[in-house]
Structure 1
Amino acid sequence: MELTGDSFIYLDLNEHSMRDKTTAQPMNVSAVNRRTLLKGVGAGAAMGLAGCMSGGESQGTNDGGGDSGGEESTQTPAGELNRGGHLRLSAIASADTLNGWQLDSKHERLIIQSLNSYLTWMKPDLTVGPDLATDWEANEDATQWTFYLREDATWHHNGDRVVAEDIAATANAIYAEDSTAAGKGSLGPLESAEVVDDTTVRFNLSASDGLIPRRWARTVAPIYPADVIENRRDEMATTDFGSGPFELESFSAGDETVLTPYDDYYLTDEDGNQLPYLDKVTITQLPDTNTQVTSFRNEDVDILWNASRSQWDRIKSASGVNSKRIDASGFTVIQMRSDKPPFDDNRVRTAFKLAVNRSALLNGAASGLGTVAYDNPIGPAYPGHSDVPERTQDLDEAARLLEEAGYGESGDPIELDFYAPSSPSKVLDTTVIAAEHFNQLPNVTINVQQQSYDNWISNTWLNAQFYTSWYTQRPTTDTLLLQVWHSEGSWNEAHWSDEEFDQAADAARSAQTEEERNEHLATCQQILHERGPSVISFYIDALTAQQEYVNGFDPYPTQKWVRSQQVSLGDDAPTQ
């Protein structure tokens, strides 16, 4: 389930006023193939060329989380740089469109982020650096953001420069009244985007938002040409209209996509080497995880960027493989609808929280690949996490609370249907294991109801009294708090309302310093632990693996990015 949406955090930008901009003038690259030029010069000359292409010293606004403007650089892979080679990636889900505003699978994300550019770029540590924008700043109350654009980015399909008109057209189209774009509403409170000049675009907001640069680095916000948006939008599903590191050689929906490097891509590494390093990237759809892992072990796939938990032992035991576990803080969540009995009583909600064996849930639903959680949706891998008291299984105390609330052995029985989709497996497994724990409570009967995903999302999600859902963490820490647990949140799954929580969440949204924001976030997390409507038993690690001959692959905890442009292959790669 891919759920989108961000909330708003405010920052102390009082010391930052609108300032005069001086933009370095890049060399004219339209008349020369940059990749060909770099192949013909030495390393010293390449570094000099990179300096000419740079957008100058970083002048960006700091949001307290490391997000700043300035020229992007990527780390050169260890050892001698190898150019060329064929990188082979795979995905299970189908890729049915090249329209980056209508993403529906991780496979499609892989393709879009390789073909397209973004206003800013999310880094593996979830801070933000420059992409099409090299610098940005906000007005005093962060209701207006101005982005300053590079001058050397060009479109694959016609070689024209990417200009402010394209950024404004993209933003306005995503937020149009009739828009069905996945990013609509999740990229900040945008009222309009306007062109200042060819290299300057301004976002006008309906409310303060200090994290606009971070929001526009999301995978749902690729930039498209203004003329395509206006006149050729129906072609976006099948045609490459990007300005990113790779261009399209072939695309077969539901099968295979082949990408080749865009010769005039604008980014270089920190040593001035032209990106990308590779000659080709192939993304192949495979039928299942078993086939995917077998292909990886046979060196027919080079990177598992979203490795299967069920196959993890096979993956990490393969020879010539580097595997990695990353704290990621995704989770499954059991939602107890709190506007109806019995979960309108916090004593019942707490009893159900005390009934579960969290280690057993982590081991059974996530193969032990994660960390035990105590009903707090913000995991330790993310900024703003606050420790809450541990909560271990205590059936005696749970029974006492039920009895006190009028249920339990001498009170009214509790019999509930407990819903879960058949996939992903971690959600169904969470439901089945937790039901066994709940059924140990006196006079409680929980019946698991397995549904197809389509049935679950259409009928159960946001409606049922008792069900399991799941989320991946968002780059902005407060997103899920406001979307899922705020009384006015659009995904308030448990129909929960708590005035103190709402006030703390709203205060976090309007906080102007990191310290103040984290204070309010800590209050939110404590309230959810004490009287929230949700059982969150574990955080799930992100799993990745790569062949030893792969260099420069830097995995993300969100598992939503693969920066193929910084990957190179060693001499021993079978496709080098």
Structure 2
Amino acid sequence: MADDSEFTDEALSGPVVDRRTTVSLLGAAGLGALAGCSGGGDSGGSGETTTSSGGEETTTTESSGGAQTGGRLQAGWFTGSIDVLDPPYISVGQYFQAAANIFSGLVTLKDDLTVRGDLAKDWEVTNGGKTFTFQLREGVTFHNGSDFTADDVKYTINRTIEKEAPAASKLSTLKPVDDGGVVVQDDYTVQLNFKQAMAPALIYLTRGPGRAATIVCQDAIEEMGEDQYAITPVGTGPFEVAEHQVGSQLTLDAYDDYFETDEDGNQLPYLDGVDIKPIPDPSTIVNALKSGDIDIANLIPLQNVDSVESASGVSVDSAPGVNWYGLAMNQEREPFGDVDARMGIAKSINNEQFIQAAYFGNAISAQGPINKATNWVYREDKPDDQAYDPEAAQQLLEDSGASGASFSILTTKSSLRGAKVMRQQLNSAGFDVDIEQVTSSTYWERYENGDYDVTISGSVGDPDPDQSLWNFYRKGGPWNWTNYEDDEVHQLLADQRRALDREERKSILQQLEDKLITDVPHAYLVHQDDLAGVSDSVQGFQHIPFLRNFHTVSLSE
């Protein structure tokens, strides 16, 4: 390769993309900083190879050194409920952390930064990066016993696009599915054809939140219906849903016919199952971890980080956060339709004080939506239009007629502390702000339907800037819950997708970020690391940012 912006067909072809090419792919897709968080330490084995067994290729994962088999992992999820497990419809990062254990993708990205096959055992890239031909694994079954074939790949992609699910944005350059976009050549060969070269396509086809090729089961969807499938889905992953009581318990059992083994030929997963319990109260989830009632907490409330770090038998496991959070302001409600009012609110917020009070210092200030982990496009010297400036804020608020405005912050129990800190700052700036605390289910229903004034929210698990910006700020975007519309931003979003040269794309993205900072659809607040709490009895946990994969986890006695 001449540079990180150029990829040959040979370099992109399977069955494993080498580390150098993968790092270049990650950079082109906006995941470059993850190159620094790979492997080593106590991850419990990170490499994968493809071996032959009876004429059939099977992916193997390095064992964690005599891993114990059996037992059930007790996991606490820092949320009130896990409402949706149907991959293309998941817009909440914590939901996919659970769903990733139920489903597989065409390919996957592991913590040693190699792209390797998941449901695809090999693939070939031709036509100057426009055509990807995947050879699929034979003998793979869904949890209901249905055979996995190339038709399921086409169905998954077509469903995602037809339903206009959030994940469809990853496939915007794919040709129409029934007009050469997805070609089923035989039961175990499928071809994807793009309108233009799409070097980062392999990254977008990995198993992960918002990915478009996390394979779903057509038979199960047609049998149980879309609504039930969202609660008790059927995949090809290491665990199957045994029971799901929304808001109470998600019970996953090991799938006996899962296709992966470790390097010694031992069947994965090692565990008998995973019992996931939503726990929205910060002190409750931390006390459950420290007392041994749960073995892992998918997230550690930031006010409890020091408590977990100082406790015996547990630790905080950290990975770079690929996110941004801001104060979302609903532009269909007054006074948030006025840009001066929004900027006045933004300049009334002291980010550093907010981080100390709400995040206990465990975050960095966000001047815009592009996070520091995507270091190829991140800048320290962003426009400071939203910087804390009480005098300028008051002038903007007076000019816009928004001084002393009354509104409420929509929040859940797990986010209550941040809402209280925000209310205190805004009330000190002369507003009349109260808090509406609701359940997680009610929160997402109201947020998605525009039934709110302001809320603290943002993007989680979207390591490419496009993945969050496109969905949040495009006209009609699936996560455009602030109701923000701007013709220039809409065009810049389209332009950056067509820019295959990284420097050109970088320039467009930074121009786009500048516009978002000045238009203030969000008052940008923080970026935070991805923190999980893990008991010493948990072995082989591979902490990939924004994922919680348990197929290599075992429990020591």
Superposed CA RMSD in Å reads 4.4
Shift in CA distance, 332/125, structure 1 to aligned 2, threshold 3 Å: farther
Cα contact 1:95–1:253 (8 A) shared by 2: no
Which of 315, 327, 334 is the aligned partner of 2:320?
Answer: 327
Counterpart mapping for 1:399-478 below 5 A: 399-400=391-392, 403=395, 407=398, 414-423=403-412, 425-426=414-415, 429-438=417-426, 445-448=431-434, 450=436, 452=438, 454=442, 457-458=445-446, 462=450, 468-478=456-466
Find the counterpart in structure 2 of residue 484 from structure 1.
Answer: 472
Deviation by residue 1:383-428 (Cα, 9 ceiling, x = unmatched) = 5323234859987x5425754x6937xx9662323332131553x5
Shift in CA distance, 101/535, structure 1 to aligned 2, threshold 3 Å: closer
2:258 counterpart SS class: coil
Find the counterpart in structure 2 of residue 121 from structure 1.
Answer: 108
Find the counterpart in structure 1 of residue 299 from structure 2.
Answer: 306
Deviation of 1:510 (Å): 1.0
1:377 equivalenced with 2:407 (yes/no): no
Find the counterpart in structure 2 of residue 52 from structure 1.
Answer: none
TM-score with structure 2 setting the length: 0.74
Aligned mates of 2:274, 2:261 — CA distance in 1: 22
Which of 202, 207, 210 is the aligned partner of 1:213?
Answer: 202
Which of 562, 567, 575 is the aligned partner of 2:548?
Answer: 562
Partner AA of 1:399 in structure 2? E
2:260 counterpart SS class: coil
1:64 equivalenced with 2:52 (yes/no): no
Deviation of 1:491 (Å): 4.1
Partner AA of 1:372 in structure 2? S
Aligned mates of 1:350, 1:107 — CA distance in 2: 31
Cα contact 2:322–2:371 (8 A) shared by 1: yes
Partner AA of 1:171 in structure 2? I
Find the counterpart in structure 2 of residue 26 from structure 1.
Answer: none
Shift in CA distance, 382/14, structure 1 to aligned 2, threshold 3 Å: closer
Deviation by residue 1:119-155 (Cα, 9 ceiling, x = unmatched) = 2224458985421023445665766543332235334
Find the counterpart in structure 2 of residue 539 from structure 1.
Answer: 527
Deviation by residue 1:444-476 (Cα, 9 ceiling, x = unmatched) = 544335364637854796577765443324132
Shift in CA distance, 98/537, structure 1 to aligned 2, threshold 3 Å: closer
Deviation of 1:524 (Å): 2.4
Higher helix residue share: 2
489-498 or 501-510, which moves further after superposition? 489-498
Shift in CA distance, 95/480, structure 1 to aligned 2, threshold 3 Å: closer
Cα contact 1:64–1:514 (8 A) shared by 2: no
Aligned mates of 1:320, 1:517 — CA distance in 2: 46
Find the counterpart in structure 1 of residue 119 from structure 2.
Answer: 132
Cα contact 1:415–1:445 (8 A) shared by 2: yes
Find the counterpart in structure 2 of residue 200 from structure 1.
Answer: 189
How many aligned residue pairs are there?
511
TM-score with structure 1 setting the length: 0.72
Which of 240, 245, 260 is the aligned partner of 1:253?
Answer: 245
Cα contact 2:103–2:215 (8 A) shared by 1: yes
2:496 counterpart SS class: helix
Aligned mates of 1:138, 1:334 — CA distance in 2: 42
Deviation of 1:488 (Å): 6.0
Q: Percent identity?
A: 23
Deviation of 1:519 (Å): 2.8
Counterpart mapping for 1:337-416 below 5 A: 349-374=342-367, 376-383=368-375, 384-389=377-382, 398-400=390-392, 403=395, 407=398, 414-416=403-405
Deviation of 1:309 (Å): 2.8
Deviation by residue 1:483-529 (Cα, 9 ceiling, x = unmatched) = 32345645445555556544543332111133332232223233434
Aligned mates of 1:451, 1:429 — CA distance in 2: 11
Partner AA of 1:537 in structure 2? L
Shift in CA distance, 284/488, structure 1 to aligned 2, threshold 3 Å: closer
Counterpart mapping for 1:158-307 below 5 A: 158=145, 161-176=147-162, 179=163, 183=167, 188=172, 191-192=176-177, 193-204=182-193, 210-216=199-205, 217-219=207-209, 222-229=214-221, 236=229, 241-247=234-240, 250-254=242-246, 255-256=248-249, 258-269=251-262, 271-276=263-268, 278-285=270-277, 288-289=280-281, 290-307=283-300
Cα contact 2:93–2:209 (8 A) shared by 1: no
Aligned mates of 1:342, 1:213 — CA distance in 2: 43
Aligned mates of 1:440, 1:259 — CA distance in 2: 47
Aligned mates of 2:354, 2:114 — CA distance in 1: 32
Q: Which of structures 1 and 2 has the bigger CA Rg? A: 1
Aligned mates of 1:252, 1:487 — CA distance in 2: 35
Gapped regions of structure 1 (runs ≥ 5): 1-10, 22-54
Partner AA of 1:64 in structure 2? L
Cα contact 1:315–1:323 (8 A) shared by 2: yes
Aligned mates of 2:26, 2:492 — CA distance in 1: 20
Aligned mates of 1:256, 1:320 — CA distance in 2: 25
Partner AA of 1:420 in structure 2? I
Deviation of 1:362 (Å): 0.9
Partner AA of 1:382 in structure 2? T
2:528 counterpart SS class: strand
Cα contact 1:275–1:566 (8 A) shared by 2: no
1:149 equivalenced with 2:141 (yes/no): no
Deviation by residue 1:531-566 (Cα, 9 ceiling, x = unmatched) = 5443212212322121123221122332xx322111
Aligned mates of 1:247, 1:143 — CA distance in 2: 35
Deviation of 1:283 (Å): 0.9
Cα contact 2:450–2:482 (8 A) shared by 1: yes
Find the counterpart in structure 2 of residue 526 from structure 1.
Answer: 514
1:546 counterpart SS class: strand
Cα contact 2:410–2:453 (8 A) shared by 1: no
Which of 507, 517, 536 is the aligned partner of 2:495?
Answer: 507
